[in-house]
Amino acid sequence: MLRFEFTAADLAGVRFAHSPMAEVVASAVALRRSSHLAVYATWRTEVGVRLGGRRLSTFDAVVREPRWHVPDFLTPVPTVVRPRLRDELAVVAATPLDRVAAEVAEAWDGTPAPPATARFARDPRGALTMLISEIREYFAVALAPYWPRLRAVAEADIARRGRAVAEQGSRALITDLHPAVSWDSEALAVGYGPEHTGSLTAGDLPLTLMPSAFTGPKVLSLARPDTGRALFYPPHGFGAVWTGSPVPPRLGALLGPTRAAVLSLVGAPHSTGEVADVLSLAPATASHHLTILRDAGLVTAYRTGRRLLYQRTPLGDELSGPAGT
């Protein structure tokens, strides 16, 4: 069991982020492990076909390694809720080269390393450049086609936890995060089993909770004095990324299939353009349905910076039922 020093005062600093690089790393492990949750089976098949004969030898050597120990520099804790891949890769590219080489070597400590890892010792800058290029290629093939759904599931989970805090208080952020996570008001305990024990601290840096649809049943932890503490956890309803969120038949009969699909989708915040993209609608059609749902009190609209986002109201949640969340 690992313990994060975490007092009641630390709850005020808890934040959320959905990280493209966290999904890259976790999905690469899920892709390699055919026994890792049947829910990923269809995705594995589709991605395997798309990857075809592509040679991502550096990526395979560093990310798709045979254990869950992946170099920490690949998953910097985001400073914003919705980081973009290019922004996170810029942080990865700025990692000190001695740290890059050391963490790659450490990931394979005690295990025969593939030949591609040797370049990190003799030419870490060239190896890191190649790794970043291959990460972009992997993301385009394995994650980009699913990204709107991955983001939607993560944002729905974040919104759900925000509502729980409003109703139950800040402790609700932690209490149902994952069966392996518990809190005794002094520390967060993460139950990995007897083979992983210790205490993780990161000064006064906040804890970031990071939903990741590819962590499967696991919860993963990260603690570094430079980027802070993070827990990667499976978001509520993550299986819907691959199976789709079916529209309840009665909801479809009441609202019509398209408008019901829009209401089901905006359990997490979406802009008009995002609704149109995910559901393959014309922007004007998406706007029309969102306006009607808003006027009916089922959806609310609010601005975040320049974005106008739509999200279900409690009445919309009640009408959608569990299958729409």
pLDDT at 222: 79
Judge if 51 and 168 occupy the same domain: no
Judge if 82 and 12 occupy the same domain: no
| 238 part of a folded domain | no
pLDDT at 198: 58
Q: How many domains does the chain have?
A: 3
Judge whether 113 and 120 are in contact, CB under 8 Å: no
Residue of 15, 1, 110 lying closest to 65 (CA atoms): 110
Judge if 295 and 316 occupy the same domain: yes
Enclosing H/E stretch for 265: helix 257-265
Judge if 122 and 29 occupy the same domain: yes
| 239 part of a folded domain | no
Find where tokens 């450049």 sit. 129
Chosen domain end from 146, 171, 188: 146
pLDDT at 323: 38
| 192 part of a folded domain | yes
- Domain range enclosing 142: 20-146
The span from the first CA to the last CA of the chain, in angstroms, equals 32
Judge if 186 and 278 occupy the same domain: no
| 60 part of a folded domain | yes
CATH of the domain at 271: 1.10.10.10
Q: Can you tell me the distance from the alpha carbon of 127 to that of 120, in angstroms, rounded to the nearest whole number?
A: 6
Specify the 3-state DSSP secondary structure of 2.
strand
Pairing of β 187-190 and β 299-304: unpaired
Judge if 125 and 25 occupy the same domain: yes
Find where tokens 């069991």 sit. 1
| 240 part of a folded domain | no
Judge if 68 and 186 occupy the same domain: no
Judge if 213 and 250 occupy the same domain: no
Mean pLDDT (10-residue bins), the chain, 325 residues: 75 88 91 74 87 86 70 90 92 96 88 88 96 94 85 81 81 79 79 58 74 85 76 81 61 82 82 83 92 92 85 84 45
Judge if 29 and 88 occupy the same domain: yes
**Per the structure block, which two tokens stand in for 289?**
């349905």
Judge if 68 and 106 occupy the same domain: yes
Judge whether 149 and 241 are in contact, CB under 8 Å: yes
Over the Cα atoms of the chain, what is R_g?
Answer: 21
pLDDT digits (tens, 9 = 90+) for 299-325: 999 887 788 889 888 888 888 764 333
Chosen domain end from 102, 130, 146: 146
Chosen domain end from 212, 233, 254: 233
Judge if 171 and 228 occupy the same domain: yes
